[in-house]
Amino acid sequence: SLSTLFPWIHRFRAEGTVDYSQLTFDPSQNELIVGARYYIPPTPPPCPLSLSLEAEWHCDEFTKGACFSRGKSEEECQNYIRVLLVNGDRLFTCGTNAFTPICTNRTLTNLTEIHDQISGMARCPYNPLHNSTALITSSGDLYAATAMDFSGRDPAIYRSLGGLPPLRTAQYNSKWLNEPNFVSSYDIGNFTYFFFRENALEHDCGRTVFSRAARVCKNDIGGRFLLEDTWTTFMKARLNCSRPGEIPFNYNELQGTFYLPELDLLYGIFTTNVNSIAASAVCAFNLSAITRVFGGPFKYQENSRSAWLPYPNPNPDFQCGTIDYGSYLNLTERNLQDAQKFLLMNEVIQPVQPVPYFMEDDVRFSHVAVDVVQGKDMLFHIIYLATDYGTIRKVLSPLNQSMGSCLLDEIELFPPRRKQPIRSLLILHSSSELYVGVRDQVIKIPLMRCDFHKTREGCVGARDPYCGWDLVLRKCTTLEESVSMSQWEQSITKCPVRNLTLDGGFGPWTGWGACSHTDGGSAGSCLCRTRPCDNPKPQCGGQSCHGLSVEVANCSRNGVWSPWTLWIPCSTSCGIGFQVRQRSCSNPTPRHGGRVCVGQNREERYCNEHLPCPPHVYWSAWSAWERCTVPCGGGIQSRRRTCENGNECPGCAQEYQSCNTQPCSDLKKTTPWTPWTPVNISDNGGHYEQRFRYTCKARVPEAALLEVGRQRIEMRYCSRDGSTGCSTDRDLLRSGKISGHAVTRDWTSWSSWSQCSRDCSRGIRSRKRFCDSPEPPHGGQTCLGPAQEYQECNITPCPGEYPPTPTQKKPIKQVITQEIVSEKNR
């Protein structure tokens, strides 16, 4: 139990750090290196566990933002360490980095010193929940089995970093890998082995998961034209672990492995599917059996409608060393075609014994570690099995087929109701210590706890290979601590007869019965029932039952007011308002006939009564629009308002709008004729006289705004003696007394108006004409009047300016041209 193991257990925690899922050991520094979420803390093994150096490895905010934008949660968008490999004096680490994996090489003795940083794609999973495995060979090649994309739909076994070309399994080909969950990998001889579970294509009856062993040659250089950048030596076979019988019970899903290189023996733990009954088993496999299956026939399916049939192995004695990776001599087209289609072995890899080493129902094992222990007479294999609820089984591997395995101990790491699954398991053989990684801590447990046994019977009867009874020291010791092997007693010929410590368990509840209680000084009634701690009773120091032995229900309960709430904010910010607070009869609520609360559940009070409101500042209504500045042709009119109770009203006190935009009608104005005046022209003793008048025609609002500018001239001839009186131009022309000298020289047409000098607030524009008619004969008059005239334009006020009032507005000046008219009657 936890209380029994408490003196031996040591724990390490780092604040804010979780997911202690990666454990490795630095033998040169005698340090344990732990990979957690954005954290790499090495801890020295000597107890108690303590931190010697830490290296934080966070995601940057941009990467986390990109992760959030893809729909991932805050928990997922962190950096989870998923690869932790010692490579000489360097530590190769990879993290998920918020679904953007990244890898670094660090100095093993100073984890904060980073030598280089590379992409983690194909070396580390994107998703922290995806299973993966990786190893580095002595030549520096990194072999990784993981998902290569964000969605996890492109699994691959991938080689990189070393001197050999990068290779991978075929992409999106389910015959190579079909939704695998990678478990482990090992560098053995000329091959790299991978162990995983995947959906079985060869199984025709529904979806089934099989456990696999796969291997590739370490000197594989890929194909040429066919299988280029792809493994040419990839093969896989099914691992079988089942309970024999007429209908075998299969443990199909591999969860963990442990390889003993000195014995070429692989331990594997297998479970049933997560949707079936929980059951687990331990099977062991010889490397020779695995090699034999890879040398046998293949299982091949011609097409999706064909059956899977055995196919002879074209190269049953294949060895990696036969490949010449300089000339591609063995990479013929036929060999590459065979390598592309022959992947799955026909035979199944069978365990050392037909019956699993250890089986247990109603539990799922997640991790395994094996320790080889020297006993008095032989070597023993101790199997440590991590469960999904936070305990560790200590199992003695079978000594022979007749004896079977023995459950020696169950190590509890957590108190009841606070258990959690185990995420990593590592044995340090040199110091006989077991390290356990869970979500929030690393736990160290010594493998040798012989001091626990106080008597010879308890020590020898425990059948623990670590311990024996020293007849000289008269205590339970390890073999190393004994005075002499001949005086060290150990007997492991059968499983221990376990006088199990048994914790108590509750029996069934009695029926409900009436009972009384006191509530606030008054008696009440209840229903009660009890249960005894006798199913079973505590034995051999077992703990008493945990939980209630008496239950009380349906007790009458008088209601009690809850505390008053805080006063809510005043209903007004100034001036008299009110506030409210409430309470409820819920502390507790009346039940089963109890009294209700007496009093009010709501209180009100005045507030802000001494805080008068300042006068309300507001605009008055707009006045009527003032008279338009002009009756036609577009004018301006305004209206006003005043700020009441102050002068801080927002907005303007005056606004303007256009008015009378309709065009003005034509107005014409003519002056009276001037008196006749003599002209310095004589003819036959008579003389000429002329008179003038001016006319103007324009579209202006008022006739008063017209300015006369055009001149009309009329001439007459008066005889010298006055006998004929004076004749006008028309009479003279009719009688032939005058000729073309009365014809005037005339102007050309006006040019177009020029661009206005301003965009607003009154500008000026102009136009021109030219006096270019030929010289009139007989002294005719030249062009009269101006050659250029001006006109106001864009009279609308500019933004932010007030328009001129009607009294300030200048009259529109219309410049009128002069016109010389021949003398004619009007």
DSSP letter at 741? Answer: G
| Per-residue tokens: 232 | 């040419």
Evaluate if residue 520 carries a pLDDT over 90: no
Dihedral sign for Cα atoms in the order 183, 188, 192, 198 = negative
| Per-residue tokens: 184 | 């482990």
Residues 6+ apart with CB under 8 A from 285: 213, 239, 265, 266, 268, 349, 350, 351, 352
Give the global pTM.
Answer: 0.61
Q: Of the spans 56-65, 276-285, 683-692, which averages the highest pLDDT?
A: 276-285
What is the structure's pLDDT at 368? 96
Q: Which of 463, 544, 477 is nearest to 505 (CA)?
A: 544
What is the structure's pLDDT at 575? 85
CA 658 to chain centre: 57
Helix (H, G, I), strand (E, B) or coil at 553: strand
Angstrom distance (rounded) from CA 184 to CA 193? 8
* C-alpha distance from residue 409 to each of 223, 333, 390, 449 (Å): 52, 57, 14, 12
Angstrom distance (rounded) from CA 670 to CA 674? 12
| Per-residue tokens: 119 | 């992409």
Angstrom distance (rounded) from CA 542 to CA 7? 18
What is the structure's pLDDT at 705? 63
Asked if 532 and 509 count as a contact pair (C-beta separation under 8 A), the reply is: no
Beta bridge partners of 365: 387
Beta bridge partners of 386: 367, 392
Q: Which of 464, 463, 469 is nearest to 496 (CA)?
A: 463
553-573: average pLDDT: 88
Other CB atoms within 10 A of residue 566 CB: 9
Judge residue 204's burial from the number of C-beta atoms within 10 Å of its C-beta, 0-12 exposed, 13-18 middle, 19 or more buried: exposed
- What Rg, from alpha-carbon coordinates, does the chain have? 55
Report the run of H or E that residue 726 belongs to, with start and end: strand 726-728
What is the structure's pLDDT at 808? 45
To the nearest whole percent, how much of the chain has pLDDT over 90? 40
What are the chain's domains?
Answer: 513-553 (no CATH), 618-659 (2.20.100.10), 666-793 (2.20.100.10)
Angstrom distance (rounded) from CA 243 to CA 359? 9
Angstrom distance (rounded) from CA 293 to CA 824? 135
What is the structure's pLDDT at 568? 92
Other CB atoms within 10 A of residue 622 CB: 11
Q: Which of 241, 212, 352 is nearest to 286 (CA)?
A: 352
Beta bridge partners of 489: 469
CA 612 to chain centre: 53
Q: What is the dihedral of CA 128, 390, 195, 146, to 10 degrees?
A: 0
Phi, psi dihedral angles at 209 (to 5 degrees)? -100, 130
Residues 6+ apart with CB under 8 A from 29: 42, 108, 109
Angstrom distance (rounded) from CA 363 to CA 421? 12
* Structure confidence by residue, pLDDT tens digits, 338-367: 888 899 999 999 999 999 999 999 999 999
**What is the secondary structure of 284-328 as a DSSP string?**
EEEHHHHHHHHTS-EEEESSTTSPEEEE--S-TT--GGG--TTTT
pLDDT band at 236 (very low <50, low <70, confident <90, very high): very high
Q: Which of 167, 83, 92 is nearest to 133 (CA)?
A: 83
Asked if 50 and 92 count as a contact pair (C-beta separation under 8 A), the reply is: no
Residue at token pair 């338009």? 628
* C-alpha distance from residue 411 to each of 202, 264, 267, 445, 745 (Å): 40, 28, 20, 9, 129
> What beta strand segments (E) does 397-521 contain?
406-412, 424-428, 433-437, 442-446, 467-470, 475-478, 488-489, 513-519
Angstrom distance (rounded) from CA 87 to CA 785? 107
pLDDT band at 591 (very low <50, low <70, confident <90, very high): confident
pLDDT band at 775 (very low <50, low <70, confident <90, very high): low
* Structure confidence by residue, pLDDT tens digits, 77-127: 999 999 999 998 899 999 999 999 999 999 988 888 999 999 999 999 999
547-554: average pLDDT: 85
What is the structure's pLDDT at 742? 44
- State the Cα angle at 271 between 390 and 184, rounded to 5°: 80
Evaluate if residue 535 carries a pLDDT over 90: no
What is the structure's pLDDT at 818? 30
What is the structure's pLDDT at 683? 66
At 466, the amino acid letter reads Y
Evaluate if residue 664 carries a pLDDT over 70: yes
pLDDT band at 194 (very low <50, low <70, confident <90, very high): very high
Angstrom distance (rounded) from CA 758 to CA 195? 87
What is the structure's pLDDT at 730? 57
* Structure confidence by residue, pLDDT tens digits, 471-506: 999 999 999 888 888 899 998 888 887 655 667 888
* Structure confidence by residue, pLDDT tens digits, 196-233: 999 999 887 778 999 999 999 999 999 888 889 999 99
Angstrom distance (rounded) from CA 523 to CA 251? 62
| Per-residue tokens: 660 | 């009378």
> What beta strand segments (E) does 223-350 contain?
235-239, 242-243, 249-250, 253-260, 265-271, 279-286, 298-301, 308-311, 344-345
Angstrom distance (rounded) from CA 524 to CA 221? 86
At 61, the amino acid letter reads E
Asked if 647 and 615 count as a contact pair (C-beta separation under 8 A), the reply is: no
